[in-house]
Amino acid sequence: MTITAPIGSTRPRITLITVCWNAEKTIASTLDSVDAQTFRDFEHLIIDGGSTDATLSIVATAGNRTVFSGPDKGIYDAMNKGIARASGDIVGFLNADDMFANDSALETIATALENEEFDCCYGDLIYVSQQDPTRQVRYWKSSTFAIGAFRRGWCPPHPTFYVRRSIYKKYGSFDQRYSLAADVELMMRFLERARITSLYIPKVLVTMRLGGATNKSFSNIRRQNTEILQALATHGLKVSALGFWAPKLLNRLQQFVRKKQEN
């Protein structure tokens, strides 16, 4: 798929937000992947939770970032702080376990959202080994959004999800009542309830190290899915156990056996 912008359209400015806390082992590769981007009209906000290791020193050495450091109430509180400070037309997140999959990822996103018909875009994501980021573990291939998809266990990979800042202003940011699924709830709220327009980009945009808060234990995975089901109920999206779990489990299985495709 080739993404082209409408003739005469204006390239949007992007706010890229990196949330981190004691991330000295991984943040350098995150920053390197940002610095390698061919698209340069963006601001990069670092929202640090008060790191006590070398994280802030590594960020300072990299330069060209706006850094905010101090205690927060968790990752979604930190993300909300980033949204509140954003000045770009488009807002996206690349956290300290994440890297852009290639040096044209932001270019692809910016070109897609030059078309004002779309309020957001998202793509595919690859999970890689914590120890060896060159080794693929899971390939999360997304798809075009269809009404009712969240009831079937679907959602886009949040690290690839880029949204117009005006959408956050209109429909709100992360709901911190959800400690592990606020990102899913937000995308559900935007796509299912607000019916914002979206564009799926069938390319791998981000690679992400395994080991995040949700995936670190079975109890957290169960808790996240409990929160997702609660969010579905809150938004009036009726769901059956079979209709939710069967496609979700099939999709997860496919992620482990799917091979990386060329962008």
pLDDT of residue 79: 98
Compare 217 and 56 and report the one with higher pLDDT.
Answer: 56
Compare 5 and 32 and report the one with higher pLDDT.
Answer: 32
pLDDT of residue 125: 98
Q: Give the whole-angstrom CA distance, residue 83 versus residue 99.
A: 20
Tens of pLDDT along 222-256?
899 999 999 999 999 999 888 898 888 888 888 88
Q: Give the whole-angstrom CA distance, residue 163 versus residue 14.
A: 10
pLDDT of residue 128: 95
Q: What whole-number percentage of the chain has pLDDT above 70? A: 92
Tens of pLDDT along 165-217?
999 999 999 999 999 999 999 999 999 999 999 999 999 999 999 876 555 56
Q: Give the whole-angstrom CA distance, residue 70 versus residue 112.
A: 34
pLDDT band at 10 (very low <50, low <70, confident <90, very high): confident
Output Rg (C-alpha) for the chain, integer angstroms. Answer: 18
